[in-house]
């Protein structure tokens, strides 16, 4: 269904997907008085556990989708790998934001890069590999590069660094010859993301760019405001993200990830049609979080410009933190980090800790970015987490 959405607080909102992003959406919605229905196949999902209703079904299950539409007035998604087809089916019954067509672009790196090009925003030089002929035609200039599956990648999964042509051929075979893009490996100065929200009427609001540090392909640390990026480059990233959203007539929260290259240029990496891990610090450091903006765009509530009231740093808490050398499991020493000023602990209620699994995050708010970083570093020390920054605060 198209047209203006209006779901007053007290109504019921639906979410496809029951992970941590859905859980934080549900928390924001409930605070505004909404009830939530979550559709997720997992009996014990982070969002399903806190929603008023958990529909345990596969994303393409007809009965499950019908029940979700019956129970709710408007529906969103919490991860991009929900089949776009499920969103399109739901859209025949209820307003759905973001739309299946926009999610379909974000689900496929080749479509996504074509969209960036159409918006005039540069991305890393790349080549689509979807056949033996396309593999043979890959330009040498893209090596050394990174081969990424076009679909279903996250947290660096479905990616292989390739130094030469032999490695490229081997990597494509290892990835079972599914459609991929080969990207040139760029020299990065740093990485930033822009999280924005766009309403049905085209109004957009955004957060200032967040600066992200990854470890082994997984986001480890976010600093906000971005300490190493000039205001003019930050403004350029915001303009590019807004153009990317507007040209899809996007409705909802969108995150656009950028590389700042060693030579100072800005290059778009990828986008996510939902709130983003890098935006989690907006819960504690802004007067309106990315999840509340998702609620507001979905319910057709006004989009007020969010205001950051604190500097912040966010540390991801991966399952490794629970796993000790003798392969037993321990609860990390939360009391020691909670004793630090400005620490906000968020745990997603996942029962099983696994290496690399996102179990929670920790945001530190402070009056200055230096203070936020210093306390975050001390929190990492108390948790015995490797500090992700090469240059220490």
Q: Do residues 160 and 217 make contact, with C-beta atoms less than 8 angstroms apart?
A: no
Give the span between the Cα atoms of 35 and 10, in whole angstroms.
7
From the CB of residue 368, how many other CB atoms can be counted at a distance below 10 Å? Answer: 10
- Smallest gap from Cβ 385 to Mg ion, in A, equals 21
Q: Which is nearer to Mg ion, 78 or 257 (CB)?
A: 257
> Using CB under 6 A, which residues numbered 266 to 285 contact ligand ATP?
269-270
- Smallest gap from Cβ 94 to ligand ATP, in A, equals 28
Q: Which is nearer to ligand ATP, 171 or 299 (CB)?
A: 171
- Smallest gap from Cβ 145 to ligand ATP, in A, equals 7
Query: What is the DSSP code (8-state) at residue 126?
Result: E
Does residue number 155 form part of the binding site for ligand ATP (CB under 6 A)?
yes
Q: Which of 188, 235, 304, 338 binds ligand ATP (CB under 6 A)?
A: 188
> Using CB under 6 A, which residues numbered 194 to 233 contact ligand ATP?
214, 217
Does residue number 191 form part of the binding site for ligand ATP (CB under 6 A)?
yes
Beta strands of the chain (E only): which ranges? 12-16, 35-39, 53-55, 74-77, 126-129, 145-149, 159-162, 180-184, 188-198, 204-206, 210-215, 218-224, 252-261, 266-272, 311-318, 343-347, 358-366
Work out whether the CA dihedral 81, 82, 83, 88 comes out positive or negative: negative
Number of H helices and E strands in the chain, helices first, is: 13, 17
Does residue number 11 form part of the binding site for ligand ATP (CB under 6 A)?
no
Q: Which of 156, 179, 349, 388 binds ligand ATP (CB under 6 A)?
A: 156
Residues within the interface to Mg ion (CB under 5 A): 257
- Residue 146 interacts with, from ligand ATP, Mg ion, none (CB under 5-8 Å by kind): ligand ATP
Classify each residue of 29-62 as buried b or exposed e, where b means 16 or more C-beta atoms within 10 Å of its C-beta: bbeeebbbbbbbeeeebbbbbbbebbbbbebebe
Q: Do residues 148 and 109 make contact, with C-beta atoms less than 8 angstroms apart?
A: yes
Q: Which is nearer to ligand ATP, 7 or 180 (CB)?
A: 180
Give the range of 65-73, 89-97, 145-153, 319-327 binding ligand ATP by CB under 6 A.
Answer: 145-153
Q: Which is nearer to ligand ATP, 263 or 331 (CB)?
A: 263
Burial of 11 (0-12, 13-18, 19+ CB in 10 A): middle
Please tell me whether the peptide bond between 225 and the residue prior to it is cis, using omega within 30 degrees of 0: yes
- Residue 183 interacts with, from Mg ion, ligand ATP, none (CB under 5-8 Å by kind): ligand ATP
Q: Which is nearer to ligand ATP, 157 or 173 (CB)?
A: 157
- Smallest gap from Cβ 217 to Mg ion, in A, equals 8
Does residue number 125 form part of the binding site for ligand ATP (CB under 6 A)?
no
Q: Do residues 187 and 262 make contact, with C-beta atoms less than 8 angstroms apart?
A: yes
Q: Which of 50, 138, 186, 237 binds ligand ATP (CB under 6 A)?
A: 186
Give the span between the Cα atoms of 258 and 269, in whole angstroms.
5
Q: Which is nearer to Mg ion, 224 or 258 (CB)?
A: 258
Residues near ligand ATP (CB under 6 A) are: 124, 146, 148, 153-157, 183, 185-186, 188, 191, 214, 217, 257, 269-270
């Amino acid at each position: 269904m198209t047209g203006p959405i209006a779901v007053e607080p007290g109504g019921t909102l639906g979410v496809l997907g029951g992970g941590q992003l859905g859980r934080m959406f549900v928390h924001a919605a409930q605070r505004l008085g909404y009830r939530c229905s979550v559709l997720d196949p997992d009996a014990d999902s982070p969002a399903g556990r806190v929603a008023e209703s958990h529909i345990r079904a596969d994303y393409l299950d007809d009965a499950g989708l019908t029940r979700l539409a019956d129970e709710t007035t408007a529906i969103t998604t919490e991860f991009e790998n929900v089949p776009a087809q499920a969103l399109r089916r739901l859209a025949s019954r209820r307003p759905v934001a973001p739309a299946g067509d926009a999610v379909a672009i974000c689900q496929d790196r080749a479509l996504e890069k074509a969209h960036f090009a159409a918006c005039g925003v540069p991305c890393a030089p790349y080549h689509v590999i979807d056949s033996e002929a396309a593999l043979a035609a890959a330009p040498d200039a893209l090596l050394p590069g990174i081969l990424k599956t076009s679909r279903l990648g996250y947290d660096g999964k479905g990616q292989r660094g390739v130094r030469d042509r032999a490695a490229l051929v081997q990597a494509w075979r290892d990835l079972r010859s599914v459609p991929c893009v080969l990207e040139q490996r760029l020299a990065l100065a740093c990485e930033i993301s822009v999280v924005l929200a766009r309403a049905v009427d085209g109004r957009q609001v955004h957060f200032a760019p967040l600066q992200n540090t990854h470890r082994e392909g997984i986001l480890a640390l976010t600093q906000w405001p971005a300490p190493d990026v000039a205001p003019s480059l930050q403004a350029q990233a915001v303009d590019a993200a807004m153009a990317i959203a507007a040209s899809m007539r996007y409705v909802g929260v969108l995150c656009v990830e950028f590389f700042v290259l060693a030579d100072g240029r800005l290059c778009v990496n990828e986008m996510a049609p939902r709130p983003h891990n890098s935006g989690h610090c907006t819960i504690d450091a802004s007067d309106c979080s990315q999840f509340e903006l998702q609620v507001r765009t979905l319910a057709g509530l006004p989009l007020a410009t969010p205001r950051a009231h604190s500097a912040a740093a966010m540390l991801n808490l991966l399952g490794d933190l629970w796993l000790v050398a003798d392969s037993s499991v321990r609860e990390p020493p939360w009391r020691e980090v909670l004793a630090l000023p400005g620490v906000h602990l968020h745990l997603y209620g996942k029962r099983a800790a696994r290496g690399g699994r996102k179990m929670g995050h920790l945001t530190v708010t402070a009056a200055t970015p230096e203070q936020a970083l210093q306390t975050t570093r001390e929190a990492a020390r108390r948790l015995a987490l490797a500090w992700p920054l090469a240059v220490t605060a």
